[in-house]
Structure 1
Amino acid sequence: MPTPLYDALRGYAAKAPLRFHMPGHKGAFLPCPELASLARLDVTEIPSTGNLYEDLSPIREAQALWARRMGAEYCQFLTGGSTMGIHTALTLCCPPGSRVLVDRSCHRSTFHALALLDLDPIFLPRSWLAEEGVAGPFSPLDVKKMLDQDPTIKTVCITSPTYCGLLSDIPAIAGVVHAHGGKLVVDGAHGAHLQFLGMDAYRGADAVVVSAHKTLPAMGQAALLFTNGIDPGQVRRTAAIYGTSSPSYPILASLDTAREWLEGPGAGEYGRVARRTAALRCRFPSLCSPLPLDPTRFTLKVKNGPAFTGQLESRCNIWPEMEDGGHVVFILTACDGEEALDRLESVLEGMEEQMGDSAPLPPPPLPERVLSPRQAQFAPAEVLPLERTEGRVCTCQLAPYPPGVPVVAPGERIGKKELAYFRQIGYNNREVTVAAMP
């Protein structure tokens, strides 16, 4: 399988060149022994290595291989994680000051993009799955209803999969959005691996952002932006606004080699892990079929998430991705060997008395909006104890777990019902940033 960027970096290093260019380690020395071997491949923009923001090989060739694998017209490598991708995608799809239909439970990078671009968000609430204690996927009808109500909305931004692995029907939603003359942006940060499981999870979307580092054998901050119907030159120019002009070539090379491995020797590994995940779901109480789920996301139902996770970490040296009041989320990938999965299953067998349904509460209705996201982001602010914030306007997200959906978003007023909800769920964020009083 070809790895054009990785091969170019290795070829340059093999010539033992005298490097009178950045980086300062000159390909020879890093004082951290564990990182020393990366120095040879850590270069800068020279003719043989290309430029991330120009249409030059070998980066162009490596990106084209990814685009072909994902069924997209264009792929842009990212070294600033999905945050960089979300900012780029929304800049490409949303004229400044325009309205956008936004997943209420979106990542904070989306809220930051709303502020930077002065966008007017119309929030798309997720349905609450009471029996599971989590926010559910979107249906095409959810999106159609909102777009029918407000024809001025021309961009939709949703998250799929969620942290717990729930998938929305992106092809169907894309059809609805396009029928209304709009564009669909998908935050697929947790779904970079789905295509390697044979899932056509993002067909029809205009822009999809995935974090390779979350679920693939790629370095931290490695991410990808896939676009359709958008000028590739504009994608590169826009990505350059949000990305460093000195991107990490080891991160870029890890994107190249991750794809090659998963198309070659690793091709069957995700299938193996999906089968083990299915077995774990049958063995222990968890989110499972008929919910539309990422086949390798294991979300265990427990009676006390923090206590359960604390025992896993302190007694068993097992570190899950996250927990909330009633769930513990494990990210399983093609890099989890059978021995590791056997050990996880064995430990969980000894903790079954702590598993089972809890009763997480859905968030209250949306609060009053007072400021735009941009006004809230750049307003003079002060930090107050949560119990003293009634009537104040929040400049940050207050998003307790469960359910991970902001109870109060930037620009919204903290009221009695929100404070009552925080007390009821035992929210432990004791200090809140609010807009300063005039």
Structure 2
Amino acid sequence: MTPLYDAIRAFSAQGPVRLHIPGHKGKPLPIPELTGAAALDVTELGPTGDLFHGGEPFDSAQRLWAEDFSMDCCQFLTGGSTLGLHTALALCCRPGDRVLIDRGCHRAVYNALALLDLEPVYLPRPWWEEERLTSTISPESVEKALTEHPEIKTVCITSPSYCGLLCDVKEISHMVHRNGGRLIVDGAHGAHLPFLGVDAFAGADVVVCSAHKTLPALGQSSLLFANGFEPEQVRRMTSVYGSSSPSYPMMISMDGARDWMEGEGKLLYRRTAERTAALRERFPSLQEGALDPTRLTLNAVDGPALARALEARGLWPEMEDGGHVVLILTGMDSGEDLDRLERGLEEVPELLGRCPPIPAPPMPERVLSPREALFARTERLPLEGCAGRVSAVQLAPYPPGVPVVAPGERITEKELAYLREIGYNNHEVSVIL
């Protein structure tokens, strides 16, 4: 079932004279490869619906997603998971609230802290020395933090991580709900998991997923799922941060991606999961812990060197760090694609294996609130000349976009040494005057 796609296709088939936006009027675009999308690129009309006002065909299209995720409601997002995270925190918090934030959260969360004037209490991720990675947020650490800060009523964590590690969301939700709070899960990399039978988000109050990251959906196509909120409340808050002209091709692509995952896609994804498991067995990779069954995180003697070697063979990874290369495998990867990957890895055995020890990320000193840092007067300095200064920006290697230094935190030699170690290459930084 594809309610949104069906409605827009039916409208387009009537041959309407489009005396409204968008300017292409549904006719062929100058870029030939985009021509097919023009007919489906419409605006808010009676037959096409209105994302932010409810009604058909959006109610049916979003309800199908909500059912697949066992959530009360779903909201389509055309501004990526960034839009979803800003909306989620706005739904759960009031300005000035203190919130418990996974230090491994995406930079969008840090921006939301400043925009909403929230007071963060950071939850550091334990360093997993054997794997040279940060591990997962544990239920015990959440319980301890809430015991120390019982006034906190919103907790935001990331699961799965870029490397595919899954937190115990269900158990964490018990800790949060026991304290009368709400749990937000940045599940940007987990839109495929419920279709594979992975119970990744049970107990969460708000979940944000990027359909475009792991499903056959257009870039920036994302989803917000919520329990315990009225759909109108979710629509209204999303409209505060989202475009008033949401992209119909993006939303239609999510309609189609869900339908595909309920049918052929689920089988193809399971085949990819089987190949991923086989690749993990053949090549040094992350295998311990609760893992996304289709995320392949390779252990590398030198992560950048392995990534460049794969690129030279026409194999383009998602990201690398000093000791890992992360590959996002999906149901759209053909058997031939995965065969090419396997052959490529066979050719570089010297680059696979454990890297030298990597230090754990530092926890910088906080000097200003996120909001104070955002609106402070600044100057630009070479990164190496910033020791002792307070950062006005996030020092966040991207991907994964997790800040080493957040706005308002002091940059010391310890942070500079860590950034050098991981190969951070931003040469100038905005610091506060």
- TM class by smaller structure: over 0.9
Superposition pairs of residues 348-359 of structure 1, within 5 angstroms: 348-359=345-356
Cα displacement (A) at 1:94: 1.0
Partner of 2:341: 344
Structure 2 length-normalised TM? 0.97
**Given the alignment of the two structures, is residue 381 of structure 1 paired with residue 368 of structure 2, yes or no?**
no
Alignment of 1:12-411 (within 5 A): 12-288=11-287, 290-313=288-311, 315-400=312-397, 405-411=402-408
Alignment CA distance shift 1:424-1:71 (3 Å): closer
> Hey, what's the Cα distance between the residues in 2 that align with 1:332 and 1:352?
21
Partner SS state of residue 355, structure 2: coil
Distance in 2 between the 1:286 and 1:419 partners? 29
8 A Cα contact 1:363 1:407, kept in partner = no
Opposite residue 291 of structure 2, the aligned amino acid is: L
The C-alpha deviation readout for 1:71-93, integer Å capped at 9, x for no partner, is: 00000000001000000000000
2: CA distance, partners of 1:364 / 1:197: 33
Distance 1:187 1:170, change over 3 A: same
Deviations 1:41-98 (A, max 9, x none): 0000011111110111001110001001110000000000100000000000011110
The number of aligned residues is 433
Q: Secondary structure at the match of 1:19?
A: coil
Please state whether the residue corresponding to 1:428 is helix, strand or coil. Answer: coil
State how far apart, in whole Å, the 2-side matches of 1:429 and 1:141 are: 36
For the structure 1 residues 239 and 400, does the alpha-carbon distance in structure 2 shift closer, same or farther, using more than 3 Å as the test? closer
Give the deviation of 1:427 after TM superposition.
3.7
- Would you say the 8 A contact 1:363–1:405 is kept in 2? no
Per-residue CA deviation, residues 332-361 of structure 1 (Å, 9 max, x unaligned), is 001011010011001111111111001352
Aligned-pair CA distance for 1:422 = 3.3
Deviation at 1:152, TM superposition (A): 1.0
Offset of residue 364 of structure 1 = 4.9
Q: Is the 8 A contact 2:101 2:156 kept in 1?
A: yes
1:212: how far off? Answer: 0.1
Indicate conservation of the 8 Å contact 2:106/2:402, yes or no: no
C-alpha distance in structure 1 between counterparts of 2:25 and 2:273, whole Å: 42
CA distance in 2, matches of 1:401, 1:57: 38
Q: Percent of aligned positions with the same letter in both sequences?
A: 61
Q: Distance in 2 between matches of 1:127 and 1:268?
A: 36
Cα separation, 2, equivalents of 1:231 and 1:362: 45
User: 1:142 and 1:340 mapped to 2: Cα distance?
Assistant: 41
State the Cα distance separating 1:421 from its structure 2 match. 3.0
Do the aligned partners of 2:107 and 2:402 also contact (CA within 8 Å) in 1?
A: no
Contact 2:162–2:400 (8 Å) recurs in 1: no
CA drift at 1:405: 4.8
Give the root-mean-square deviation of aligned CA atoms.
1.4
- Can you give the 5+ residue segments of structure 1 that lack an aligned partner in the other structure? none
- Is this contact kept in 2: 1:370–1:412, CA < 8 A? yes
